[in-house]
Structure 1
Amino acid sequence: MLLEHGTALIVVVALAAGLSVALLAWLLSDALASVPAEDRSYKDAPPLGFRLVWYPIHWLSYFIEPLISARRLATIQAQLRQAGLDYTVTAPQMAASRILGGALVALLCWWGLGSFDGARAGEAGYSTTLYLQVMGLGALLGFFYPSFWLRDLMKARRSELLKTLPFYLDIITLCVEAGLNLQGALNQAVAKGPRGVLRTEIQRVLRDIRAGKARADAMRAMADRLNEPNVTHFITAVIQAERMGMNLGPVLRAQADQRRTERFARAEKLAMEAPVKMLFPLIAFIFPCTFIVLFFPIVMKFMHPGV
């Protein structure tokens, strides 16, 4: 009798668990079906890390977007513009990548620690506290890694921009002094200049102008996207010179000379900082190895004087 009741209870519990899983699956599928498809016909392909988990990022961004403040979204969007990703990912997708990255790295840490735990045959397993600590550290790393990656990308773009800006200004100055207008000079800079951030931004300015946008507004939009003082000063000087009817040649020549001087100053500053940055590797890694190589024979002679 007890066995029959026990079997019936197991069947009821199994049916309840199955129905619960089915209900959760139905709710999840219904929620995912409500997420609208994204039109990416005019957008660039996302980076590799985003492509690997793109659908979870897109689904999660749809649900967390109402929970993020407008100010925070504007800040993330400004960072994406500076990194050149404003037509690649949106601000909610960037926030979703942080949450998803934290969850994935935490699960990876749990799996890795469990693999080592299972290999310790005949010993007591790791404690739950250790699992939680390792998963917490992994979650923090995965959560903040997209921000670190975005910051490094912004720094790399800024460095490339400052390196190529004097060259582009020289091309634009020569074209204007040769008789071309500013738009023609920008076209020649795009045609003759090296590939990079500035070339892409100038092409975008030319597309905006061809689409009917005022040249001053298109250049101001470029300054807002790059958020670089050197570019802002150049665009402000050009717009003011055009508004006052001044000759653009001397203005552009002065801007080019100033940017080139600033570039040499930055190079000298980096060259002077190099010895200071080398002190820690020298003291921490190179000097100990050198002392070991030099003093090991002497110490061995003192330890074994008769040998």
Structure 2
Amino acid sequence: MIDFLVANPYARYAALLALFAVVGGVALLVMLMTSRRVSLRGELRSLTGTQAGTPETLRSRRDDQWTRLVDRIEKAGLSLTDTKADRLRAKMLAAGFQSTAAPQIYTLLRLALVILLPSAFVGLNVLSGGQMSYIKLYIVGSITALAGLYLPAVYIAARIDRRKTAIVNGFPDSLDLMLVCVEAGLGLEAALDRVGREVAVSHPLVAEMLTIATLQLRAGASRETALRKMADSVGVDEIGSFATLLIQSDKLGTSIATTLRIYAAEMREKRRMRAEEKAHRIPVLISIPLVTCLLPVMIGILMLPAAIRVVRVVFPAMAGGG
């Protein structure tokens, strides 16, 4: 490898650039870690000095930067709007991206990866001095372009699955706490707020969901609207059923405590059934490596003596008889 770097100037320059990038990245990371608290304090001080009519937060500032980038690209003539914008927006919300520009950013990243991955492969091949035929270039370029097109979708799907699993696993505990709050005399809004603050450490996604619903209620939204938005934002069937039950209880005038008690018991039963389902799948999953690893060995052990006997006895007898 060292001889190749010494002989090839392009490879030597690429290695030096990579070393410089690693050292610069480490130094930048250390500087960011040491100055993070100072920069946050400075931003918070600047936020406190904004006008009362234009409220601003750190998250909104970061979102505005992406929004401005998307606006500039769209003004340049490249449309980043998806044909199924509503479905893509729902996926972004289920993945935890609350920004209004999240669908456009997702489309922009897919387009960028489709161009950058094949370009990076071709650039590395040129710097290494390798020869490549047009057929190989076409095949590898197509594979890397498809990878750049589908990698963001795979990441979003995995993120949605992780969030749904975390919410489903943590929601029964939140229901028990909500039931205690309601039976203690708190209203629905106060119970959501209290439970959201209590589970902020153990179940942060559930706490975020309940906190957003509480803020919408305090902003003047009706219970039905806030609960519907909460269910739509996470995309979990259990949360949708919970919102429907609370809306029906509110309209019909039934006891919310009774509704919560029954639904909490159902959620715990579903969680127990999911655990049992995973436990029952273990023998089937274990059988795959057992068959793959043990079956060839067992066949070899059983067949090897017969094969040796055939080689030593049958083949010489056949050769002598012939």
Shared fold (TM-score, shorter chain, > 0.5): yes
CA distance in 2 between partners of 1:157 and 1:62 (Å): 34
Q: How does 1:272-287 map to 2 (within 5 A)?
A: 272-284=280-292, 286-287=293-294
Change (3 A) 1:107 1:100: same
Query: Is the 2:80–2:107 Cα contact (8 Å) retained in structure 1?
Result: no
Q: Which residue of 2 aligns with 1:242?
A: 250
The answer to whether the aligner puts 1:96 opposite 2:108 as a matched pair is yes
Q: CA deviation at 1:271?
A: 1.6
Q: How does 1:120-131 map to 2 (within 5 A)?
A: 125-131=131-137
The answer to whether the aligner puts 1:43 opposite 2:60 as a matched pair is yes
Q: 1:25-80 deviations in whole A, cap 9, x for unaligned?
A: xxxxxxxxxxxxxx98543858xxxx9x99987754655764645x4122211100
Q: 1:269-288 deviations in whole A, cap 9, x for unaligned?
A: 1221233233434444x337
- Pairs aligned (count): 254
Query: Is the 2:178–2:195 Cα contact (8 Å) retained in structure 1?
Result: yes
**Unpaired segments ≥5 residues, structure 2:** 1-55, 313-322
Q: TM-score, normalised by structure 1?
A: 0.71
Q: Which residue of 1 aligns with 2:165?
A: 159
CA distance in 1 between partners of 2:294 and 2:61 (Å): 49
Query: Is the 1:106–1:138 Cα contact (8 Å) retained in structure 2?
Result: yes
Q: Among 134, 138, 146, which residue is 1:140 paired with?
A: 146
Q: Which residue of 1 aligns with 2:40?
A: none
Query: Is the 1:61–1:96 Cα contact (8 Å) retained in structure 2?
Result: no
Q: State the Cα RMSD in Å.
A: 3.5
Change (3 A) 1:56 1:293: farther
Query: What amino acid maps onto 1:155 in structure 2?
Result: D
Query: What amino acid maps onto 2:160 in structure 1?
Result: M
The answer to whether the aligner puts 1:72 opposite 2:84 as a matched pair is yes
CA distance in 2 between partners of 1:247 and 1:115 (Å): 72
Q: Could you say what secondary structure the match of 1:126 adopts?
A: coil
CA distance in 2 between partners of 1:140 and 1:222 (Å): 35
Change (3 A) 1:201 1:145: same
Q: Among 261, 271, 278, which residue is 2:269 paired with?
A: 261
Q: How does 1:160-179 map to 2 (within 5 A)?
A: 160-179=166-185
Query: What amino acid maps onto 1:103 in structure 2?
Result: I
CA distance in 1 between partners of 2:87 and 2:77 (Å): 16
CA distance in 1 between partners of 2:295 and 2:84 (Å): 48
Change (3 A) 1:57 1:289: farther
Query: Is the 2:170–2:203 Cα contact (8 Å) retained in structure 1?
Result: no
Query: Is the 2:67–2:101 Cα contact (8 Å) retained in structure 1?
Result: no
